[in-house]
Amino acid sequence: METTVICPGSFDPVTLGHIDIISRASKMFSYVIVAVLANPSKQNSSFSIDERIDLLVKSTENLENVEIVSFEGLLAEYAKKRNVTAIVKGLRAVSDFEYEFQMSLTNKILNPDLETIFLTAESKYMYLSSSMVKQVASLGGDIKGFVPDCVLDRIVERLSAK
């Protein structure tokens, strides 16, 4: 069966934890749409939508069945528009669970055909997040091992310029 899934997120910026989930999804499903939330009301992002997309494109160029897009508004509506019936999300520590559970149930009410599939984060990425990457980089710490090597310099340069 041909199955397309959406991996949604803020990706501000992409981390190795995101890439782990995207690449595992790309092996499990025929096509993966990585959808970056472009909400005009979200003013506190560190990277612009174009920057986030560029970093994701570069970091996934070895994955042939992955497309990077941005979306605005409700994810449940975007999924309908793209004819997609499954979202794939990574689940890290227990602290993620309540929020992810709430989003999954809300999406299901908004679009009853939409399932959410959770992949357990790899243990080495269990506590990795974009916010942690930003904090470490802005304080001069080494973020090698947290973000893809191919975009490491761009992320460091961008964050240290802030």
Which residues contribute to the site for ligand PNS (CB under 6 A)? 8-10, 37, 74-76, 103, 106-107
Closest CB to ligand PNS among residues 56, 75: 75
Per this entry, what is the length of the chain?
162
Catalytic position from the list 18, 52, 89, 158? 18
CB of 123 to ligand PNS, least distance (A): 20
Query: 42 an active-site residue?
Result: yes
Burial class (CB in 10 A: 0-12, 13-18, 19+), 18: buried
* Minimum gap (Å) between residue 76 Cβ and ligand PNS: 6
Measured from the CB atom, the residue of 73 and 142 that comes closer to ligand PNS is 73
Nearer to ligand PNS, 89 or 158 (CB): 89
Alpha carbons within 13 A on the beta-carbon side of 49:
15
Closer to ligand PNS by CB, 56 or 76: give it. Answer: 76
List Cβ neighbours of 78 (8 Å cut-off, separation of 6 or more). Answer: 6, 35, 71
**Are the C-beta atoms of residues 49 and 36 closer than 8 Å to each other?**
yes
Catalytic status, residue 48: no
CB of 17 to ligand PNS, least distance (A): 10
DSSP string, 49-98: HHHHHHHHHHHTTT-TTEEEEEE-S-HHHHHHHTT--EEEEEE-SHHHHH
* Distance separating alpha carbons of residues 133 and 48, to the nearest angstrom: 16
- Given the residues 26, 46, 89, 92, the one annotated as active site: 92
Which of 89, 130, 134, 158 does the annotation list as catalytic?
Answer: 130
Is residue 41 part of the annotated active site? The answer reads no
Judge whether 160 counts as a catalytic residue: no
- For the annotated catalytic residues, the residue numbers are 18, 42, 92, 130
